[in-house]
Structure formats: structure tokens, C-alpha cells
């Protein structure tokens, strides 16, 4: 273990500082498709009983009108975060009628591209902006790709922790800059080690054969309706997903916040010839927000993002540049189709230990070689992570996945122990042991279990997924919310609808002007 990590562990283990780690914050965003009883994409509008997708903070839509997104508050105890997510699911199921929430990350059998409905947010300028942005995504990447769902795990370390480390290490500069550079260091380590998460939690080794729309691919046929790779952990995170030529040159390597925001800012302001050719309008209608590499910064597809809560009307990059990094958003987690919420407390406790390890350990700057290795290790594991004897690249040398995973877990163990010491109990160490078991026996990984369940029941991917979706629906519906909690959700839904109406009635200014000033806000900071 590195000397820096040892010193930091000792400092945080002191009695005066131990309670700090109870103040980490955890938020979860879970996406899921609404499907019919036959396991087809629901073509119905976003249910009004769930409130306004524009203004309800806990229940919204992602890309499609059929792609729900559930958002928890950020809470110190991940058990409370998961309890919040559980309540949102129960409320949603009370309003879904005969529809289901699709259990895995990869989508159900989809209709023709043109029949996948884009999420609609009403007539306000911000609502229209969200809609046109999604039209742009359809144009750039196709609608099918946008129907993949995932889990985003938001994590922050307590604000008081950074000045403590900064003082102990004699770092000069502002607390804010130290905090931001520490989060960027966490992200670099995450890039190095996130292949481990794909091995442990990847749960998409197979998909519906129609998903590829007849495009060429390297997948194998499992049955007439299912494609797969025998050793894959997460086809969702493979290069099947977003193949964006426009974004290919965009590789922020996270050596500091300035270079990261610079690369995104340039991408939002730099025209991309094929998009210029299409233009922003067709037959007088908006088809994309602009003709640049990215329409907005969130279009950049990455498996972890530095984040800062934005003010009203403020862009993510502006918030980061003005006030620094506040938390990270882990975006590479598959939905586990065996779990009703797609994630559980064991996964959450392990993620905390893993992210703490990334945050506190040495994090050298990434060279183009180490950046390239991080990317190729990640892609190897998502496509063949369970292949016996799989080799990854570490410091220019091949290393056996199993060996490296074992070493990493051994290095993370003291962080799990420290979290247990802070919280009481041994939940984090037990969560770590559960991961060690998966390294020793690949058949325990979710990806292996998905293939095993399909084989056992002689099911296609779609049949397996629908069966799991029905089981989860039964789980949530069999125990409704208390009438008090149900009433709170209903009130939130009603007030969000009223809020949207008010926004639309009081809208001033023309949409074209609104888009122009939105675009200008990024150009203003690029000068």
C-alpha cells in the first residue's frame, strides 16, 4: 500500500476524525423502460399520475417518453438512499396500470426507430430545449441506443475532510482547488480500476437480437432471438453502445479540472462537418440544438463525471468552473435484473469502499499510454471478463485479471475496515468478501447468473427479462406504501404538474432567442 494512503488512513482513523466518514453522501438515479404485459415498449405517454417529467425531482424521463428515471435525494446512509429508491418504485407501480418496469439494462424488443417516442416536456422554453436536445441525440446516434438503461451512483466525501487532508499534507492554495484536484485524482484512479466494477457488477452479457437492427457485429447467436458473448460482463458498456465518430477525438484524461472543462467547452463550441450538413432546422422545425461536436456538455459519454449542483439556468460546466467539484457520478453500473431496484446495499457498501480507495490512494497523472491501457482494459473486461486466464495491461506488462482483482480487493480491505470502524458493524468488510468470492468463482458474477438462468429456463433474453420484470412488479405491488407516504408522492406529483403549467403560462421570450442565449452562455466563458 502507498505511503500516502497509509498516512491518510491513520489520520482518518483517529478518534477525532472517525465520524467524518459517516458524512459521505449517496444518491442513486435508476433508469428503466416501461413495457407492456407482452414485454414490448410502452407507447403510452409518461403517466400523468407520476407528475411532470419536467418538474418532479424524483420521477422524470430520460431519453424516451417510455424511459423512466427515478432519482433519490443524496443521503449519508446508503440504506436510506435505497429505502428512498424503494418507495419511488412502489409509488410508480401504484400508477402503472398493466405496465411493467423492464428489469435489465439492455432494452426489450423495440419497435421501428421512428416509433420510439422521444420524451416530451411541454411548451416552456426549457421543456422545448430538452426535447430538441433529444431530437439531436436521435439524429446523431439513433433512438435504439438511447433506450439502454443504467444506474448512476452519486458519491461525495464530506466537505470537512478536504481541509483536514490539505493541512496535514501542507498543500498550498485554496481549499476549493484542493477539493477539486482530489476529486479529479479519484476520477483518474477510477479510470484505472473501473474494469473491476464491470467484472463484479456487469449484468448484460446478452441482448435482444433485434437491437442491432441488422448492423454487423461480433456477437454470437444464443437462440433465434438472443445475441451474446459467452464471457461478456457488460455489453451495455462495450463499443456496441455509443459509437460516436464525433466524440472519438474527445478524450479528457482528467489531469486537472481546467483541462477537463476546456475539452468539453471546446466540443460544445466546435462545429462537426456531418452535423453542419444536416443543419439545426428541417422544414422549419428544430432538429438539433446546434451543429457542434456536442450539443451540450452532458452529451459527452463517460463512465464517471465530476459534478456540482447547478443553480437555475446555469450550465454544468459553468458550475464546475465557478465553484469546483462537489461530487462524482459513477455512470457505468448495469441494472442487476435479479434485484427489484437493480442495485442493493451490498453493492452500495462495496462502491463506497472502492471510491474511497480511489480518492485516498496515490493517483499519478495519466499519460496517453496509461489512458489507452485504462480504456482497453475496460473494453476487454466488458466483452470477455469471465474468460479464464484473461490478461490485462498494467504499467506496460500483462497481468492476469484474477490476480490483479485479488490484489485490488486486498488493497481496498483497509478502506472497508475504516468505514466499518466509522459506522460500527462489519457491513463494508462483508460486502468486500462477497466480491472476493466472485473473483475466485466467476459463476457468482451477475453476468454468469443471467446466462445460467436463461439456460435453466430455456428462455430468450426477452423472456428471461419479462419474467424478472413480473417478479419485481409482484414484489413492489404486494406491499404498497403507507397511506401517508402514498399521499406525499401524490401531492408532489400534483404540485409538479401545477409548476409546469405555471412555467408555461409565464414564459417570456421566443424559443429561438432562448437557444441562442443558451449557446452564448458557453461561448462567453470560452473566450
Across the range 210-214, mean pLDDT stands at 93
For the cut 80, the answer to whether the pLDDT of residue 82 exceeds it is: yes
Q: Tell me, what DSSP letter sits at residue 280?
A: S
Bridge partners for 34 per DSSP: 101
pLDDT of the residue at 252: 72
Beta strands 281-282 and 285-286, pairing class = antiparallel
Name the least confident of 302-316, 381-395, 467-481: 302-316
Q: Are 353 and 412 in contact, with CB atoms under 8 Å apart?
A: yes
Question: Exposed, middle or buried, 214 (CB in 10 Å: 0-12/13-18/19+)?
Answer: exposed
Bridge partners for 393 per DSSP: 398
User: Cα separation of 308 and 326, whole Å?
Assistant: 5
Tell me which H or E stretch contains 151.
strand 151-156
For the cut 70, the answer to whether the pLDDT of residue 241 exceeds it is: no
- Indicate the pLDDT class of residue 522, thresholds 50, 70 and 90: confident
Measured from the Cβ of residue 134, the count of other Cβ atoms closer than 10 Å reads 23
Gyration radius (Cα) of the chain, Å = 23
pTM of the predicted model, to two decimals?
A: 0.97
Instruction: Express as a percent the part of the chain with pLDDT over 90.
Output: 91
Q: How many CA atoms within 13 Å lie on the side-chain side of 451?
A: 23
Question: Exposed, middle or buried, 274 (CB in 10 Å: 0-12/13-18/19+)?
Answer: exposed
Helix (H, G, I), strand (E, B) or coil at 203: coil
Residue keyed to cell 412502489: 90
Across the range 2-23, mean pLDDT stands at 97
Across the range 320-337, mean pLDDT stands at 97
For the cut 90, the answer to whether the pLDDT of residue 447 exceeds it is: yes
Q: How does pLDDT run across 214-231, given as a tens digit for each residue?
A: 888 999 999 999 999 999
pLDDT of the residue at 1: 79
Question: Exposed, middle or buried, 241 (CB in 10 Å: 0-12/13-18/19+)?
Answer: middle
Alpha helices in 366-400 (DSSP H): 368-384
Alpha helices in 336-426 (DSSP H): 345-360, 368-384, 401-423
- Indicate the pLDDT class of residue 247, thresholds 50, 70 and 90: confident
Closest to 101 in 3D by CA, of 464, 466, 462, 486: 466
Query: Average pLDDT, whole number, for the chain?
Result: 95
- Indicate the pLDDT class of residue 99, thresholds 50, 70 and 90: very high
How far CA 195 is from CA of 35, 49, 303, 374, 482, in Å, comes to: 31, 40, 11, 8, 41
For the cut 90, the answer to whether the pLDDT of residue 154 exceeds it is: yes
Residue keyed to cell 438511447: 146
- φ, ψ for residue 491 (rounded to 5)? -65, -40
Helix (H, G, I), strand (E, B) or coil at 27: strand
Domains of the chain: 3-526 (3.30.590.20)
Measured from the Cβ of residue 103, the count of other Cβ atoms closer than 10 Å reads 28
pLDDT of the residue at 102: 98
User: Cα separation of 412 and 261, whole Å?
Assistant: 30
Across the range 460-475, mean pLDDT stands at 98
The contacts of residue 130 (CB under 8 Å, 6+ apart) are: 54, 119, 121
pLDDT of the residue at 96: 98
Bridge partners for 285 per DSSP: 282
For the cut 90, the answer to whether the pLDDT of residue 42 exceeds it is: yes
pLDDT of the residue at 249: 72
Tell me which H or E stretch contains 462.
helix 461-477
Amino acid at each position: 500500500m502507498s505511503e500516502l494512503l497509509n498516512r491518510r488512513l491513520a489520520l482518518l482513523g483517529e478518534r477525532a476524525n472517525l465520524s467524518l466518514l459517516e458524512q459521505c453522501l449517496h444518491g442513486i438515479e435508476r433508469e428503466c423502460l416501461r413495457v407492456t404485459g407482452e414485454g414490448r415498449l410502452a407507447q403510452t405517454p409518461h403517466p400523468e399520475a407520476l407528475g411532470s417529467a419536467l418538474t418532479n425531482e424524483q420521477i422524470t424521463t430520460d431519453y424516451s417518453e417510455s424511459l423512466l428515471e427515478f432519482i433519490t435525494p443524496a443521503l449519508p446512509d446508503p440504506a436510506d438512499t435505497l429505502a428512498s429508491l424503494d418507495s419511488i418504485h412502489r409509488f410508480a407501480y401504484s400508477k402503472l396500470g398493466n405496465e411493467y418496469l423492464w428489469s435489465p439494462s439492455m432494452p426489450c424488443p423495440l419497435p421501428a426507430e421512428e416509433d420510439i417516442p422521444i420524451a416530451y416536456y411541454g411548451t416552456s422554453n426549457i421543456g422545448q430545449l430538452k426535447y430538441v436536445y433529444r431530437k439531436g441525440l436521435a439524429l446523431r446516434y439513433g433512438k435504439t441506443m438511447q433506450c439502454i438503461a443504467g444506474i448512476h451512483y452519486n458519491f461525495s466525501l464530506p466537505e470537512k475532510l478536504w481541509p483536514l487532508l490539505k493541512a496535514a499534507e501542507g498543500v498550498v492554495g485554496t481549499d476549493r482547488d484542493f477539493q477539486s484536484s482530489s476529486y479529479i485524482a479519484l476520477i483518474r484512479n477510477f479510470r484505472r480500476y473501473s474494469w473491476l466494477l464491470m467484472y463484479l457488477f456487469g449484468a448484460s452479457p446478452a441482448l435482444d437480437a433485434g437491437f442491432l437492427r441488422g448492423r454487423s457485429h461480433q456477437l454470437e447467436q444464443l437462440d433465434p432471438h438472443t445475441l451474446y458473448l459467452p464471457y461478456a460482463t457488460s455489453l451495455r458498456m462495450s463499443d456496441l453502445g455509443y459509437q460516436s465518430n464525433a466524440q472519438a477525438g474527445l478524450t479528457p484524461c482528467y489531469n486537472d479540472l481546467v483541462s477537463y472543462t476546456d475539452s468539453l467547452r471546446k466540443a460544445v463550441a466546435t462545429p462537426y462537418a456531418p452535423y453542419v450538413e444536416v443543419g439545426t432546422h428541417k422544414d422549419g422545425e428544430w432538429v438539433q440544438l446546434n451543429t457542434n461536436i456536442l450539443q451540450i456538455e452532458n452529451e459527452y459519454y463517460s463512465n464517471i463525471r465530476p459534478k456540482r449542483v447547478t443553480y437555475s439556468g446555469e450550465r454544468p460546466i459553468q458550475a464546475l468552473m465557478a465553484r469546483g467539484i462537489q461530487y462524482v457520478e459513477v455512470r457505468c453500473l448495469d441494472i442487476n435484473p435479479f434485484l427489484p431496484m437493480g442495485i442493493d446495499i451490498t453493492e452500495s457498501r462495496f462502491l463506497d469502499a472502492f471510491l474511497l480507495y480511489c480518492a485516498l490512494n496515490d493517483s499519478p497523472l495519466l499519460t496517453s499510454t496509461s489512458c489507452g491501457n485504462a480504456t482497453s482494459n475496460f473494453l476487454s473486461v466488458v466483452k470477455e471478463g469471465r474468460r479464464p486466464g484473461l490478461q490485462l495491461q498494467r504499467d506496460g506488462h500483462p497481468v492476469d485479471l484474477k490476480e490483479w482483482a485479488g490484489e485490488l480487493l486486498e488493497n481496498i480491505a483497509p478502506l472497508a475496515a475504516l468505514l466499518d470502524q466509522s459506522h460500527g458493524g462489519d457491513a463494508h468488510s462483508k460486502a468486500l468478501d462477497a466480491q472476493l468470492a466472485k473473483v475466485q468463482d466467476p459463476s457468482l458474477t451477475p453476468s454468469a447468473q443471467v446466462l445460467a438462468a436463461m439456460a435453466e429456463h430455456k428462455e430468450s433474453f426477452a423472456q428471461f427479462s419479462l419474467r424478472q420484470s413480473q417478479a419485481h412488479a409482484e414484489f413492489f405491488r404486494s406491499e404498497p406504501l403507507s397511506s401517508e407516504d402514498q399521499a406525499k408522492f401524490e401531492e408532489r406529483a400534483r404540485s409538479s404538474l401545477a409548476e409546469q403549467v405555471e412555467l408555461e403560462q409565464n414564459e417570456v421570450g421566443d424559443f429561438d432567442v432562448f437557444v441562442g442565449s443558451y449557446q452564448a452562455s458557453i461561448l462567453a466563458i470560452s473566450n
